[in-house]
Copies of this chain bind each other. A is one copy, B any other.
Amino acid sequence: MSTADGVGPEDHPTVPRVSDATVGRLPVYLQGLFGLAGDGEASVSSEALAEIAAVNPATLRRDLAGIGISGTRGVGYDVKYLVHEISVVLGLNQAWPVLIVGVGNLGRALANYEGLTTQGFPVRALVDIDPDVVGTSVAGVVVEHVDVLAKVVQRDEISVGVIATPASAAQAAADELIEAGLESLLNFTPVQLVTPPHVQVRGVDLATELQILSFYQQRSTAAASGTGVPLSVDADEQQRESSDRD
């Protein structure tokens, strides 16, 4: 478990980095651990936590081993220790001040979301382009004009930019956030942003999620109705034949 190949400042050798798949699960484990900690559990087995997180126990053990966390054989993992270590790996031992661009319904809801601040992502600033909105106070923060975005980012030491504008303004907002020096963006519009490689963008799009749900629902409905139809399209469908399957 001792990282044989330490993480070097050098970038020549490819460092054994934590896989994206693992990173994506870490917050889930953390969430489960909060629940366990709240229940007063002192330790937890990979099997139990894996069940909570809905993953395979071996996957959980490998994830933890991969970020340098070890448990105790015959016992399990120490809950508090796990919480602490995962938090450190995720960078949650520091605050990441957030700026929200676009104070419409969504922006307002996000600004008012308690979970953000309590989890280390304080909403420090809000900007909008609408003069009627600028100057108003939302969740205790005065909305500023998007023109001073760069200044705000500096002043409030913003780490993450949240894009909650209409889709039509999303790319421009992203450009300005990047111009202001931000490297982490969270995009709530359905727009596929174009950004330089050093910028991390994550997107949360309602329509995308619903479309994926509808795919699976349609599939299960089709399966249930006994139609042997896998992905065949329906009635009004007819297109070039060309179906050579192996």
Contact = CB atoms under 8 A, between A and B. Distances in A.
Nearest to A72: B240
A85 interface: yes
A242 B83 CA distance: 8
A192 B28 contact: yes
A26 B231 CA distance: 14
A3 B160 CA distance: 30
Interface of A: 1-4, 6-9, 11-12, 14-18, 23-24, 26-28, 30-35, 37-38, 52-54, 67-70, 81, 83-85, 87-93, 96, 98, 105-106, 108-110, 112-116, 118-121, 159-160, 167, 183-186, 190-192, 198, 200, 202, 204-220, 223-224, 226-234, 236-237, 239-240, 242-246
A211 B85 contact: no
A200 B216 contact: yes
Given A88-B234, A160-B210, A209-B202, A240 B120 contact: yes
Contacts of A27: 205, 207-208, 211-212
A137 to B, nearest CB: 15
A68 B215 CA distance: 15
A234 B121 contact: no
21 contacts: A3-B232, A9-B226, A12-B228, A18-B215, A23-B216, A26-B212, A27-B207, A31-B191, A34-B245, A35-B245, A52-B192, A69-B232, A88-B237, A91-B211, A92-B214, A96-B210, A109-B109, A116-B210, A118-B244, A119-B211, A204-B204
